[in-house]
């Protein structure tokens, strides 16, 4: 929109609102309003004819293309691919040879139909679609003229209202007289323009309706006969379809049931057709990444972790603080006294203890004093013996009783990935360590566990007890 058009639209806005809400004096012409309604009906009718003709040609072409694709699909089903796709000579026709021949014959018939109907589609486009498009262009130009007439009516009503208001004013100043003269000039000009477009449309619209009627009626009639010709070609071609594979003398449903036989029963008997998306109740094969046994790998990895955890306190005791005396495995161990019942028998296996036992003689190791609870582990060198004797002379207060250990939580290790399938399920990945909240003895049931602060149920056959 140009700046001039924008200013005009802005000036017409108050009058447009008054016209919509029927406020003030509004010009009405019943003859023109009736012609305008007939013109809108003509525009709708022309658009519908053009759209229907275009849809019809597209539907016929789509029907034939779909039939060709259907024949290709039947050929692919009846003729399974065997061998390399890049070597056509390796194909073996293992399927229904008669069905393949019937599908190929039907495909050729549809190709012939496309060729025969191509001329009919061109006739529809030439005699229906294109002329209707030309009519729509004329209708569009006339519609612009109707819009311009409506704008002139708004200007006419607007200037008339302004002129009448200034004319009815009693005490007019020099400025008011000047405005009155300008309003009168604008009113006369808008009145002439409105009368020109209004009278022209009232006179020429009926002529347009008569011409359009004489133009559209033959189009509808021609379109009817063109469709009839298309259906006749389709009927003639398909009625003389001589394909021995099809039996046109029997009912189509009976022929289909006879050819199908027991295929449906055999297909429904297959296990793979009974697949359900419910939660699994069977244990999956324990194959991990790379084709390895996930169960064996998980067991070996966690057993090695337990061995490492058991070895860590022994090595730290041997290197930092020697373990208390127990029945040693070195020579002369029978001369040492037996530890009290409160001591735990620990077998020293570190290199430091063995080296010390081999370096110093047995007589250099005095027997440790027997105490209810040892304050520290006995040393294994002669230099540290007096220190141990002095420490033994100092009474050591008994330690506070250890609190009762809470029962250790039971954990399981995930063998496979599991994604939650319903609300309340617990998702995890293979290798995750899950705390068991509640479980049963049946591994094919659902257990309740906790992982990363989230609690939910999970299939028992997806995990392995530690």
DSSP-assigned letters across all residues of 256-284: HHHHHTTHHHHHHHSGGGG---SPP-SPP
For residue 447, the SS3 value is strand
Q: Is the pLDDT of residue 109 over 50?
A: yes
Residue 391 and residue 376 in contact, taking contact as beta carbons nearer than 8 Å: yes
> Which residues fall within 8 angstroms of residue 387, CB to CB, at 6 or more apart?
379
- Residue spans of alpha helices (H) in 21-88: 30-78
Read off the tokens for 409: 């939580």
Domain architecture of the chain: domains with CATH: 12-239 (1.20.1270.60), 276-294+408-466 (2.30.30.40), 321-386 (no CATH)
Determine what percent of the chain is predicted with pLDDT higher than 90: 29
Residues in the chain: 466
pLDDT at 28: 81
Phi, psi of 182 (to 5 degrees): -65, -40
Q: What CA–CA distance (Å, rounded) separates 153 from 155?
A: 5
Q: At 252, list the tokens.
A: 């189509």
CA 196 from centre of chain: 61
Which residue's structure tokens are 């023109």?
32
Global pTM value: 0.47
- Per DSSP, the three-state class of 454 is strand
The model's pLDDT over 331-355, given as tens digits with 9 standing for 90+, comes to 333 443 344 444 343 343 334 434 4
Residues 6+ apart with CB under 8 A from 68: 107, 110, 111
Q: Give dist(CA 415, CA 295) in Å, integer.
A: 7
Phi, psi of 274 (to 5 degrees): -100, 25
187-233 tens-digit pLDDT: 899 899 999 999 999 999 999 999 998 998 898 899 999 999 999 99
| 50-70 tens-digit pLDDT | 899 999 999 999 999 999 999
* DSSP 8-state symbol, 137: H
- pLDDT range class, residue 386, cuts 50, 70, 90: very low
Round to whole Å and give the CA distance between 406 and 153. 95
Phi, psi of 138 (to 5 degrees): -65, -45
In terms of average pLDDT, the best of 166-175, 224-233, 298-307, 378-387 is: 224-233
CA 167 – CA 164 distance, rounded (Å): 5
Q: Between these two residues, 38 and 342, which has the higher pLDDT value?
A: 38
Q: Which pLDDT score is estimated for 196? A: 93
Burial of residue 303 (number of CB atoms within 10 Å: 0-12, 13-18, 19+): exposed
Task: Please give the Cα distance from 252 to 249 (Å, whole number).
Answer: 9
């Amino acid at each position: 929109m140009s700046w001039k058009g924008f200013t005009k639209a802005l000036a017409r806005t108050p009058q447009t609102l008054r016209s919509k809400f029927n406020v003030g004096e509004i010009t009405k012409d019943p003859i023109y309003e009736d012609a305008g309604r007939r013109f809108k009906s003509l525009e709708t009718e022309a658009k519908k004819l053009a759209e229907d003709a275009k849809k019809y040609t597209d539907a016929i072409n789509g029907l034939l293309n779909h039939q060709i694709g259907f024949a290709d699909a039947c050929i692919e089903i009846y003729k399974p691919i065997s061998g390399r796709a890049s070597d056509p000579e390796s194909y073996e026709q293992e399927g229904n040879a008669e069905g393949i021949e019937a599908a190929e014959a039907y495909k050729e018939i549809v190709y012939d139909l496309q060729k025969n109907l191509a001329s009919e589609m061109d006739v529809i486009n030439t005699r229906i679609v294109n002329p209707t498009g030309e009519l729509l262009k004329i209708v569009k130009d006339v519609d612009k003229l109707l819009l311009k007439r409506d704008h002139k009516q708004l200007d006419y009503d607007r200037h008339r209202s302004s002129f009448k208001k200034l004319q009815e004013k009693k005490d007019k100043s020099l400025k008011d007289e000047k405005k009155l003269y300008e309003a009168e000039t604008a009113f006369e000009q808008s009145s002439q323009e409105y009368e020109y477009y209004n009278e022209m449309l009232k006179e020429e619209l009926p002529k347009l309706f008569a011409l359009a009627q004489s133009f559209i009626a033959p189009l509808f009639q021609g379109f009817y006969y063109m469709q009839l010709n298309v259906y006749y070609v389709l009927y003639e071609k398909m009625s003389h379809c001589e394909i021995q594979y099809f039996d046109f003398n029997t009912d189509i449903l009976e022929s289909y049931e006879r050819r199908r036989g027991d295929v449906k029963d055999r297909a429904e008997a297959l296990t793979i057709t009974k697949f359900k998306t419910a939660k699994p109740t069977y244990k999956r094969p324990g194959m991990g990444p790379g084709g390895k046994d996930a169960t064996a790998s998980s067991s070996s990895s966690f057993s090695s972790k337990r061995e490492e955890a058991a070895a860590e306190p022994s090595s730290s005791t041997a290197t930092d603080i020697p373990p208390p005396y127990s029945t040693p495995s070195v020579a002369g161990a029978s001369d040492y006294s037996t530890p009290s019942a409160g001591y735990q028998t620990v077998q020293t296996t570190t290199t430091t203890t063995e080296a010390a036992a081999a370096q110093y003689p047995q007589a250099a190791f005095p027997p440790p004093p027997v105490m209810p609870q040892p304050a520290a582990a006995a040393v294994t060198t002669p230099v540290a013996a007096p220190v141990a004797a002095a420490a033994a002379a100092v009474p050591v207060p008994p330690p506070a009783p250890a609190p009762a250990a809470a029962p250790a939580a039971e954990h399981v290790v995930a063998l496979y990935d599991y994604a939650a399938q319903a609300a309340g399920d617990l998702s995890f990945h293979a290798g995750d360590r899950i705390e068991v909240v509640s479980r049963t003895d049946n591994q094919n049931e659902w257990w309740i566990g906790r992982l990363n602060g989230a609690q939910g149920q999970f299939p028992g056959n997806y995990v392995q007890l530690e």
